[in-house]
Chains A and B, each alone.
Chain A
Amino acid sequence: MDTILLLTHAEADGSVPKAALEALSAARTLGAPVTAGVFGGTAEKAAASLAGHGIQKVLTVSGPAFAEPRYATDAAAATGLAKASGATLVVCPATSRMARVMAGVAQRLGGRIDTHVTQLVNEGGPAAIRWYYRQRIEAKLRRKERPWVLLVDPGATAAAQPEGSDAPPVEAVAVAAPEARTTVSGVRAPSSGEQTIRPDAKLLFVAGAGWTKKQPDGKPHPDRAEALILAFLRASKASLGSSKSLVDQAGEGQKVFEFMSHLNQVGQTGATPRHPKGLSTCCHGEEPHVVGWRFIRERRAVNTDANCGWARGKADVVYVADAFAVMEKVNAILAAKG
């Protein structure tokens, strides 16, 4: 029978990432006992927060050397925890920190790794469901090799809720920190400070290149477009996505929105965000963009072209209308609602 290690880093404030509780929820479906492994600057708070989740034991690697999200030290800590646990299945949240190191860790463990797992299922043995070809083909797969490292995508599973069991025993694992050739100096917002990417937002608002094209008066109105989009984001708290064509304009010297960067890009070479709803504006809904909408459940689009990609079975509703006029009215209604 397999044994499971839920392996995660601690956040900078010492807590467990929400995505780790989601990975725990996925791991539990396999029906095997779960040990947790936590590494970071401090791991005590994270270990304590795992009380009530039915975890048998918490292994920790902590200390100042392990505080920074950095490959060399994180890989050493994760490898040490995986070895100390003896687990055959290592389930991790696919945070940027874990995704950076776990392929290398699987290599060090002599194991195998599968990432972007959206579901774990127990069918007389563990099986993982994940996507291939940018969310176009879904596969269920099994492996005989162990240890098998599985990175569960954030947002794919509901976070595990504590059920009232005792706090698990905590055991520190000694891992020597390797020489760090990399220093992490912090986190930087890429644009003018306007927060436009909100992973937990209920709505994804996508702006396409049409916002910067010529309007019925024969002139482009990027400044007005920028004001409309920002006003909507502020009022609705939506997360901003973009088509590739719009963010690429920055590199081509065209007028672009100050708050927009490649980080906003959704689709084939961009993100595949998870939001309950998505509203597309001035975007044609071409396939390379729409593959990034795989996990958006309810989809609506505003476009002047009734034959755009969205109208061909990719959106639930397509409004054939001028997005400038519509969004101005939307913003007015939202402003009136306060």
Chain B
Amino acid sequence: MSFQIVVLGSVVPDPLQTLEPVATPQGPGLKNEQMLPNVLDPWAGHALYEAANLAAKTPGSKVTLLALGPKAKLQQVMMAVAQKVPFELVALDGPAGGFTDAHEVSAKLADAVKALPGLDRSKLLLFGGWESASRGAGVTLAMVGERLEIPDQFQGVDQIAPKPDGSFEVLERVEGGKHQVSVCKGAPAVLGWATGNLPEPKNNPQVGMANMRLVMPALQKAVPAAVSTGGVEFVSVQVPKAQRETRIVKDMSPEDVAKEIVAWISQD
């Protein structure tokens, strides 16, 4: 049994950057947004690495990364991501900011999935992050799945285990640090990944060279995908004051520190 795994994912500002909202004619944005270094969204990254891992275990499978983002940012990020695992890129050239409307984004992505050459729904697994580090709503992937009329969706996925008959077991995060265990009869299905269980793959120059032969043409062919803030009216957008007056305690014995901590955690 092989799968056609389509991973939805885009770029987000590097988490180490300071983010400051600004008003733009198109709605809220980030200060110096074009200048901020970007990375592949962490959850989308987990989805991509899990997809590659699944494809490696199921011969004949193929991984496509479908990304909606500014072409220049995608190019910058793909230089790094392409070193990790084998995939084909399909790019849509449009804004990837957190304030864009998930409904508009999902419509563009669903159309792009439908237009993938040789798409076989009976083998389609639609992967992505269960959230993103930008909008962080956890709805885009689900709405793409719904637009594609995929009847089985899983969110907060940490594991997929394929079986010889084409079915697969899925572990989804539920309350209390546990996993719900489900068995799906087979593709098509939507899987929104949490962190999974895989580390970030090490750079592989051979994979990078093979990927980049396809990435650059894909970026050149990127279709414009204008998305906006949709029907959302942002009343206010701000960074809350988070700076605390930190008391730094040095030269206190472990016993005294322990007493202070116990007293503190014992207070209501």
Contact = CB atoms under 8 A, between A and B. Distances in A.
**How big is the B interface, by class?**
35 or more
Interface in B123-179: 133-140, 142-143, 145-147, 151-156, 158, 171-179
A311 B246 contact: yes
A279 B265 contact: yes
Contacts of A317: 246-249
Interface residues of A, number: 105
Given A181-B184, A320-B248, 10 more contacts: A96-B173, A103-B143, A104-B143, A112-B103, A189-B178, A287-B16, A319-B260, A320-B250, A321-B252, A332-B258
Contact of A313 (B99, B153, B243): B243
A187 B177 CA distance: 10
Interface string A104-142: 101110001111100000010001000111101111111
B3 interface: no
B137 to A, nearest CB: 5
A139 B103 CA distance: 18
Contact of A252 (B19, B134, B199): B199
B181 A263 contact: no
B170 to A, nearest CB: 8
A96 B155 contact: yes
A111 B197 CA distance: 35
A251 B232 CA distance: 41
A71 B153 contact: yes
Given A96-B172, A107-B146, A139-B234, A268 B261 contact: no
20 contacts: A69-B174, A69-B180, A112-B103, A133-B19, A139-B28, A143-B232, A182-B183, A184-B180, A185-B181, A187-B181, A189-B177, A198-B176, A247-B195, A263-B158, A268-B15, A268-B42, A277-B264, A277-B265, A317-B247, A326-B254
Contact of B257 (A251, A261, A329): A329
Interface string A291-304: 10000001110100
A contact patch SS: mixed
For the complex of A and B, the 10 pairs showing the least CB-CB separation, nearest first, are A197-B177, A251-B199, A329-B258, A103-B139, A103-B142, A325-B254, A71-B153, A313-B243, A104-B146, A107-B146
A203 to B, nearest CB: 5
A188 B179 contact: yes
A138 B258 contact: no
A99 B234 CA distance: 23
Interface string B173-201: 11111111111111000000011111100
A144 B136 CA distance: 21
